[in-house]
Structure 1
């Protein structure tokens, strides 16, 4: 069962990474310079979308669409919002998911529900991955807050690179946990981690709706 789970995970990982990188490179990367090679600092207009529009734009599967709608509609808002707001909600959702999973894992360990030493070690390594993901995604949340507050375009190229690095680090943190849990597919932490990775990927895809600065 562990070998099968490992094969499925690697296939999904390759597909999701390719999708993520293609979306982030296109939408978060800086544009080419003008005819004279110079760069302007004209800010693009931030579009507004309903949750349905935003989720439909980034979701390639029904599962991801349903996940996206649940996360964005959790507050009961159905009117169009700036896409920076949707991106910020998704990042906060990922951070909340991390906190819930860490709390659940700690409870299992403290309650003696994970008696085997090798599984306890996997839990410990998993928590390291969650720690790095939390730090990275907290930085993303701060960057999105600056963008939503209208911080200007002069540093948007740097911000786009920081966002991409933050989401990538978040996914790597999730994957660091997954690798350690592949030998324990029956563990509740295994399922929670896969779900948290989907939330992290969703956050990155929603951020791709934020336009890059015009040049």
Structure 2
């Protein structure tokens, strides 16, 4: 979890792309918001990689249970990504913190539902990816909590 946190929040050109940077120095609340936006965006990137992997698996030969689980997970990932997009692109940049905690949770619930489906399968290569996605969502939520949500 520590490694994931450090990788997700490493300072690089991504903060500059978000309009946050070292010159002039930013107040701590602005820095926290920048990291919260970055964590949400990185969670969405991770979601996209999992969706791509699931879509690729669906093109192959799968048993009925695997196919049904992956199809359902694709729908659930759509809901999770929608919530994180609201967080990353609307709520945080606009400093609209009312309902922010609920939006994070709305993104987490579908990921956990997908996890429950994948756990019932004999062996799914998506399970580990889903776990990473869930952890990135929780990291983003934890940073949001620093904003007082």
TM-score strictly above 0.5: yes
Aligned residue number for residue 140 of structure 2: 203
For the residues of structure 2 that align with 1:170 and 1:139, how far apart are their CA atoms? 10
Structure 1 pair 108–162 and aligned structure 2 pair: CA distance change class (3 A): same
For the residues of structure 2 that align with 1:90 and 1:180, how far apart are their CA atoms? 26
Larger relative contact order (Cα-Cα within 8 Å, sequence gap ≥ 6)? 1
Deviations 1:4-62 (A, max 9, x none): xxxxxxxxxxxxxxxxxxxxxxxxxxxxxxxxxxxxxxxxxxxxxxxxxxxxxxxxxxx
Q: CA deviation at 1:184?
A: 2.0
Structure 1 gap ranges (5+): 1-63, 148-158
Is 1:120 the equivalent of 2:67? yes
Structure 1 pair 74–119 and aligned structure 2 pair: CA distance change class (3 A): farther
Q: Is the 8 A contact 2:40 2:87 kept in 1?
A: yes
Select the structure of larger CA radius of gyration.
1
Q: Structure 1: which 4+ aligned runs deviate by more than 3 Å? A: 76-81
What RMSD over aligned residues (CA atoms) do the two structures have, in Å? Answer: 2.1
Q: 1:143 aligns with which of 91, 95, 107?
A: 91
TM-score by length of 1: 0.58
Q: Is the 8 A contact 2:101 2:144 kept in 1?
A: no
Q: Is the 8 A contact 1:94 1:199 kept in 2?
A: yes
Deviations 1:101-132 (A, max 9, x none): 1011101111x1x4201110000111111011
How many equivalent pairs are there? 136
For the residues of structure 2 that align with 1:133 and 1:211, how far apart are their CA atoms? 22
Q: CA deviation at 1:66?
A: 1.7
SS in 2 for 1:145: coil
For the residues of structure 2 that align with 1:65 and 1:136, how far apart are their CA atoms? 24
Residues 13-92 of structure 1: matches in 2 within 5 Å? Answer: 64-73=1-10, 75=12, 82-92=31-41
